[in-house]
Chain A
Amino acid sequence: MDLRIRDVTKTYSNGVEALRGVSLSISPGLYGLLGPNGAGKSSLMRTLATLQLPDTGSIHLGDIDVVAEPDRLRRTLGYLPQEFGVYPKASAIDLLDHFAVLKGVGGRAARKEVVETLLRQTNLWDVRKQKLGGFSGGMRQRFGVAVALLGSPKLMIVDEPTAGLDPGERVRFLNLLSELGETSVVFLSTHIVEDVSELCTRMAIIDRGQILLETDPTSAIDGLSGKIWRRVVSKSDLPALEQSHPVVSTKLLGGRTVAHVYADTRPGPDFEASAPDLEDVYFCTMAGHIGNGVREEAGVAP
């Protein structure tokens, strides 16, 4: 069951073009959507989750026309939004059971079992009877995960899921997602590059409503091999370096600045070769060295 997105555009009433001709084809597995804040990630996620209509374009999951038959999609959708609230005075078990009904889990016994399992899986079993109003951010996030997992979804949309999780929770959650990816389409948006590099078989980079690069992490990294060069500079030399070389990223290391530069050949004696990673892919894409956003004036063939 593939998720096919064709030429989706969305312009908000204030003139912001959130999505500009987005087309993606996503097979079962974990798919990562990387992009800076405001790139259109959440707009795309909400559109996939049937919460808003695209201005043009089509979205299909298997034979489901997401735009025309939102309810059919919802039956097989797990959605974890970036921001959400819960009824503060309801208990976790109560509200999860409520969602189980809403998600079509019939039969009291089946519901009880799935609710219990999910609460245990998300480590909320001990606090199941407490009011959600008293939950910490991470607990609330895990509750959202439990809700998203209800009803064996074939499409999981997870919008910035790991933001509120502690490292242990993050690992467990990502493991879960990859497991889900064996049978379903899991579409994950994030601005954390590691999330994608650790998990995703496919990925896309989005900026200003456009898909700049659609690839798989390994071949993207391979594609950059021999093109990333690093140099340690002092803070005051950095502007000069940026003038003379295509700096894709800078990073502080022990009080000094390490700059990564994109070049087909070694730019100079002070530079040393650097093994590229996904972060370099991301920054090169954003800087227009590779992908659909390659700048004409850069004159560099991808």
Chain B
Amino acid sequence: MKAREILRFNLLYQGRRITPWLYSAVLGLIAFGAVRSNFLPDARRELFLLNSPYVIAAATVLSCLLWLLLGASVAGNAAARDMQSRMYPLMYSAPVKRSEHLWGRFGAAFLVNAMVLGAVPLGILLAIYAPGVEAEYVGPFRPLAHLSAYGLIALPTAFAATAVQFTLACLGRRAALSYLASVVLFMTAYVIAAGVAVGLQMRVLGRLIDPVGVVTIIGYFSDFWTPDQKNTLLPAFDGIVLLNRAVWVGLALLALTVARRGLEPAAMYRSARSRRRAAPVETTVTEAPRAITVPEVDTSFGFATRLRQTLATARRSFRTVVRGRGGAVLLLPIAAATALYMVWNLDFMGVPLVPRTDLVLTFLTASLGDPRSAWMIIPLLTVFFAGELVWRDREVGQSAISDAAPVTEWTLFAGKLIALACLLALWMSQLAIAGIVVQTGIGGAPVELDLYLKVLLGIQLTDYVLFGLLALATHVILGDKYVAYLVTLLAYGAIVLAPAVGIDHNLLVFASDPGWSYTDMRGFGSSMSGWAWFKLYWVAWAALLAVAARILWVRGPETRLRPRLDRAALRMTRVTRFAGGGALGLIVAVGAFILYATPFADARWVVPDAVEEVVEATEVEAVAPDAHPWLTATTLRVEIYPDSREATIDGTYSMVNASGAPIDAIHLTMAPGVETLGVSFDREGELQETDGSEPWSYALTAPLSPGDSITMDFEIRYAPRGFDDRGVDYWVVPNGSYFTNLDWLPVVGESRRPQPPIASDEGAPLQQWRPDVDRVAFHAVVGTAQDQTAIAPGVLRRSWEEDGRRYFEYVTDAPIVNEYAFFSADYEVSEAAWNDVLIQFYHQRGHGRNVEGMLEAAQASLDRYSEWFGPYQHKVLRFVERPGLGVGLHADAVNIGFEEGFALMDPSRDLRGLDLPYSVVAHEIAHQWWGTDLRPAFLPGAPVLSESIAQYAAMRVVESALGEPALERLRSFMRTETQVPPLRAGPPLFRAFGWFDAYRKGPFALYALGEYIGHDAVDRALQRLLEEHRNGTPPLPTSRDLIQALRAETPQEFQPLLLDLFVGNTFWDIEATGASSTETETGEWRVSVDVRVAKVVADQDGVESEVPTEDWVEVAVYAAGASASDPPQYLERHYVGEVEQTIDLVVPMRPSRVGVDPRFLLIDWDIDDNHVDVDTGS
């Protein structure tokens, strides 16, 4: 009864506050926005229906995640209101049981939260059914989908979160602690659960500890459900989801039993005021009263006093947050966890990386609004501590005295800001220590203290302090702690989400900048000037906020805005007016300068470097390419000025009309990042220049007949004006310049303008859309700073010094595809030779860790490939380092560029014994044949012709040069991704464009085919393909050509296998279900193996259909007593014509174990059931 009355009273009390209704409105908007902005585009791409249960569940999860942070005050208020308002002596002396208090209060908080979350389904319904959504993307209305999302996702989340928030606030006697509980839950859902599920590969545990469903529902079902399943099944009814809900409700009940203790009266008087001194202190003075005399002191209020006051305020405030609020230790577990995380994750696909400071710092830093970073926790904690700092004096009542002290509002604000900055600096130092501990623990790289200082206490701290100031000012200006929490969180949300909604100019997003990066090779490159200007701009804004905070500072009992505004006028002193005016002036001046210095409407070329970009469109668009001449030769003079970050290129294109028709006009597209100084042709005509991204055209007076040639001279200059708002370009930097012809040089042919390509598997002409398929004879002179080496494709013919600069002349000895890069840096070089080919490794000093092994790999690769595929076309092969902490490599003809991260690999520490750099080198060198020599049409299936063949080639180099066990290690490494089986839904290999198909499934398929039909047969097919297409004349080869070539070499019996591997998206399910053996009279053993070989074909949507089993499958028998590494005593292919079949065979020795497809050649991700022990019946 009493519990019900407490519940009723609290419910009404909370309902009369404005905040729950505010939360409700905000959440409804969030749910609406999540569906409309996040899921509607995907629904329009027909990945699922907009009202599919998956979308409803996922939108609910996202909303609940944000509710955690936004709505924390409800539970905190219910738990700690009596303590903070000092009403507990009245309340808790009433004859009410603790459990009645608990359930009444908690129940009210939970009901209010449930009501707040009720806005979520409303927002979702509105997003689906309000105007703006085409009817075809909405399926039939399914009430159960909405009900289950609210009932099984939102409500249990609310219950668990309310309980945890309530408990923490109750035990700490402070409402604000509920927000801290929320931050912990948020991080658990958003970071920790994913870390456990993906980072540590404990998927079920990860799904169980996620309190909201980020991993449990969104992560799991978006990765593992097919479109069809997303549209029909209810994620909320999945077994693990239900278990997760049960776990969290259980935890909630557990937390509440702890909270109940916090409600004991004894506990009230213990920790609320002082934990250490429970009993009030009494003075023991008994002397007679004597008169008090007041000491006369001098007081002064000059600058020194103001400074002293500011520092005293800062010190006192800092102590409050560090001691009283756990500020000092709060981040320690996170720093420690990060250190552990780094130890586990300083690797690339399991290959340990050297913990160089620049790499370690990438783990410790993130931009303020990066939603993918765990360091969101720092702004989230800042929100909490800013509130504590501003409200501390008032909450303990000390403001009654201190408000009347002769201290200016500037002093108070600055003191609190300094305290917050010190706290943030303390956290940054803790992160630095975590990084240093990891570095020294692993070893192999020096600790660069100055870099830690610059990055963590310079760059990162600036962002965090700016945000801290925003939070402090918000609290001051709004004058209500919980409204201020909400507004600060919304402001942070705006920072995070602004780019997603198209507000991406850094002048519009608080504290943002165009980005920065640091690598050992490049340093900060050119990123710091833009960073500094934008920070100055935002510091000016911060100063303006500080002025607002100063004049609206709450002093005295009045917290409402109106009376404070009255007083604000009085506070507009000369200094304040000067500061405000100065800040405004700075905002305008710096903003104007930034607008001047950053180029507007800089339409950057979209050069698709990831094949995935093709995914967007699969429809044929029958746009005939315009007739344009093809490049045959390119001659360049390139001047790179690393120090002034400029470059010029004088060039000549020689072109021929290879089309069958006369050409009237030549269209040119000029790269937007560079300036074109001049263009001229050796045939008469009229040049029409345009600005912007429209192509230039040159109308020929006399048309260019088929077979005729024309040359074009051009001059371009790269001289960036200031900096770019949308990111930093690092093309020319003091050390480590890198740019490609596709970035800068004019492109001939209107239809070949770089743009997102439209892919098609029908018809060949679309391939001519890309500018890089021409074959050119290349000749370049490249000049750079005296202490640097400049690198371009071809053989270095000579090198000289002139006017304090160094020049390099490069000439190719065979035509190359029209895609190449220029490098310039202070390089060291390591060399080796293979026959008459010079192999060079250009790298930054100190980055040559793996050079020897890689030179060996290069020699072995050249050796095998020239035998398997044909001669290498050039006299030199280079690996050239370029700045970047990624491990990406890109193979152009002759030169293979690699990022610094690749040089950080340390295979000697790889416990798997895998030498990944070796196989990567082999892979990239294979691209000299597959990808450059043979340039596939840019169509679906293209990656199979380049990446899959390159990886297949690398597997065989590893096998042939390092031996069978090395190949086994590589194959097992390549199977890492299939430990959690990837979705089967997808295209067949011949139309594939995804990473997994290109780098894993494709090479496995080629290898399997090689094992069945002989690798030399595969080589013959590849050689033929290469011979036909090496010259690069259209039509360019497609995956169909590969399959035709392979078909010609495949015996009749394996033709179905070829089709299964490449033309159908086929999956085998192979299992050894049992085996028995008996000894024959002759002393041999008759073995009977029960096999199960099922086969399905999956389509794009994941609909699977069974296909009949008609396969040759290897069967192996292992002798008793043989060790695991011994070859089997029997390995033969057997024909399996039915799903379940028994195979009888005879072996000479007693068998112990049999395997079906024992070498895992066929596409079957479950390899654990391929072997079984033999039942010998004895």
Which of B294, B297, B560 touches A110 (beta carbons < 8 Å)? Answer: B297
Cβ-defined contact, A121 with B276, below 8 A: no
B283 touches A89 (CB 8 A): no
Task: Using CB atoms, name the residue of chain A closest to B564.
Answer: A53
Q: Given A104-B406, A106-B299, does the pair A134, B291 have CB atoms closer than 8 Å?
A: no
Greatest chain A CB density within 10 A among B284, B289, B404 is at B404
Say yes or no for A131: interface residue by CB 8 A criterion. yes
| B320 proximal to A (CB < 8 A) | yes
Chain B residues with Cβ below 8 Å from A135 are 280-281
| Docked complex: A159-213 residues within 8 A CB-CB of B | 168-169, 171-173, 175-176, 179-180
- From B297, B403, B558, name the one whose CB has the most chain A CB atoms within 10 angstroms: B297
Residue on B nearest A173 in the bound complex, by CB: B292
A106 lies within 8 A of B277 (CB): no
Given A84-B401, A101-B309, A168-B289, residue A71 in contact with residue B274 (CB < 8 A):
no
Which residues on the B side are within 8 Å of A51 (C-beta)?
Answer: 403-404, 555-557
With A87-B398, A134-B281 as contacts: A53 and B563 at CB distance below 8 Å: yes
Contact of A105 with B281 at beta-carbon distance under 8 Å, contacts A51-B555, A122-B292 already known: no
Do B298 and A144 touch across chains, with their CB atoms under 8 A apart?
Answer: no
Contacts of A89 in B (CB 8 A): 274, 323-324
Query: For chains A and B in complex, what number of residue pairs have CB atoms within 8 angstroms?
Result: 179
A6 within 8 A of B: no
Assuming the contacts A106-B304, A152-B296, asked whether A133 and B400 have C-beta atoms less than 8 A apart, the reply is: no
Is B132 interfacial (CB-CB < 8 Å)?
no
* A 254-295 contacts with B by CB, 8 A: none
The complex places the Cα of A135 from the Cα of B280 at a distance, in Å, of 6
Mark interface residues in B83-108 (1 if CB within 8 Å of A CB, else 0).
Answer: 00000000000000000000000000
Within 8 A of A (CB), among B307-335: 308-309, 312-313, 316, 320, 323-324
Known contacts A79-B404, A104-B300, A176-B292: does B281 contact A136 (CB below 8 Å)?
A: yes
Contacts of B567 in A (CB 8 A): 53
Q: Are B401 and A99 in contact (CB under 8 A)?
A: yes
**CB atoms of B301 and A171 under 8 A apart:** no
Q: Is B293 an interface residue, CB under 8 A from the partner?
A: yes
Bound together, the chains give a CA A103 to CA B299 distance in angstroms of: 7
Q: Is the interface of B mostly helix, strand, loop or mixed?
A: loop
Q: In chain B, residues 258-310, which have Cβ atoms closer than 8 Å to a Cβ of chain A?
A: 273-274, 276-285, 289-301, 304-305, 308-309
Given A51-B556, A106-B298, A175-B405 contact (CB < 8 Å): no
The answer, yes or no, to whether B402 is at the interface (CB within 8 Å) is: yes
B480 contacts A by Cβ under 8 Å = no
**A238 interface residue, CB < 8 Å from B?**
no
Residue on B with the closest CB to A115? B295
Tell me whether B406 and A88 are in contact (CB under 8 A): no
- Which chain A residues border B284 with CB–CB below 8 Å? 126
Question: Do B294 and A84 have beta carbons less than 8 Å apart?
Answer: no
B624 at the interface (CB under 8 A from A): no
Pick from B283, B400, B560: contact of A126, CB under 8 Å: B283
Q: Tell whether, in the assembled complex, residue A134 and residue B279 are in contact, meaning their CB atoms are under 8 Å apart.
A: yes
Cβ-based interface call for A300 (8 A): no
Does B273 lie within 8 Å of A134, measured CB to CB? Answer: yes
> Is A236 an interface position by the 8 A CB rule?
no
B306 nearest in chain A by CB position: A104
- Are B295 and A113 in contact, with the CB atoms below 8 A? yes
**Neighbouring A residues of B289 by C-beta, 8 Å:** 168-169, 171-172
Interface size for B (C-beta < 8 A) is 58
Closest to A175 in B: B291
A123 at the B interface (CB under 8 A):
yes
| Contact A84/B397 with A51-B404, A134-B279 known, Cβ cut-off 8 Å | yes
Given known A74-B406, A74-B407, A101-B308, contact A133–B277 (CB-CB < 8 A): yes
- Name the contact of A114 in the complex, choosing from B283, B297, B304 (C-beta under 8 A): B297
The answer to the question of B396 belonging to the interface, with a C-beta cut-off of 8 Å to chain A, is yes
Q: How far is the CA of A121 from the CA of B279 in the complex (A)?
A: 24
Pick from A103, A106, A175: contact of B292, CB below 8 A. Answer: A175
A89 to chain B, nearest CB (A): 6
Q: Which residues of B contact A83 (CB under 8 A)?
A: 397, 400
CA distance A133 to B273 in the complex (A): 5
Known interface pairs A46-B557, A176-B292; A102-B276 also in contact (CB < 8 Å): no
The answer to whether the Cβ of B373 comes within 8 Å of any Cβ in the partner chain is no
A98 contacts B283, C-beta separation under 8 Å: no
Q: Are A84 and B281 in contact (CB under 8 A)?
A: no
A152 to chain B, nearest CB (A): 5
Q: Given A52-B558, A53-B567, A126-B284, is A86 in contact with B398 using a C-beta cutoff of 8 Å?
A: yes
> Is A241's CB within 8 Å of the partner chain B?
no
Per-residue contact bits, chain B 558-598, to A (CB 8 Å; 1 contact, 0 not): 10101100110010000000000000000000000000000
User: Is A81 touching B273 in the complex (CB atoms < 8 A)?
Assistant: no
Inter-subunit contact B291/A102 (CB<8 Å): no
Complex formed: what's the CA distance from A105 to B567 in Å?
27
Is the CB of A233 closer than 8 A to any CB of chain B?
Answer: no
Q: Which residue of A lies closest to B316 (CB)?
A: A98
B293, B309, B396: the one within 8 Å of A86 (CB) = B396
A-contacting residues, B528-580, CB 8 Å: 555-558, 560, 562-563, 566-567, 570
The CA-CA distance from A85 to B272 in the complex, in Å, is: 13
Residue of B nearest to A75 (CB): B406
Contact present for B401 and A172 (CB under 8 Å): no
Q: Determine whether B408 belongs to the interface, using a CB cutoff of 8 Å to chain A.
A: yes
Residue pair B291, A152 in contact (C-beta under 8 Å): no
Partner of B407, one of A67, A90, A102, A173: A102
B313 touches A102 (CB 8 A): yes
Shortest CB-to-CB span from B79 to chain A, Å, is 19
**When chains A and B are docked, how far (Å) is the Cα of A86 from the Cα of B396?**
6
Q: Is A124 an interface residue (CB 8 A)?
A: yes
Known: A85-B398, A172-B291, A175-B291. A71 touches B281 (CB 8 A): no
Q: How far is the CA of A172 from the CA of B276 in the complex (A)?
A: 32
B750-785 vs A, CB cutoff 8 Å, 1 = contact: the mask equals 000000000000000000000000000000000000
Tell me the B residues contacting A by CB distance below 8 Å. 273-274, 276-285, 289-301, 304-305, 308-309, 312-313, 316, 320, 323-324, 392, 396-398, 400-408, 555-558, 560, 562-563, 566-567, 570
10 contacts between A and B (CB under 8 A): A51-B556, A83-B397, A84-B400, A101-B312, A104-B300, A118-B295, A133-B277, A172-B290, A172-B292, A180-B294
Q: Which 7 A-B pairs have the closest CB atoms?
A: A85-B397, A51-B556, A133-B274, A84-B400, A74-B406, A133-B273, A104-B299
Additional pairs, 8, CB under 8 Å, beyond known A80-B401, A83-B397: A51-B557, A53-B570, A68-B570, A75-B406, A102-B309, A113-B295, A136-B282, A172-B292
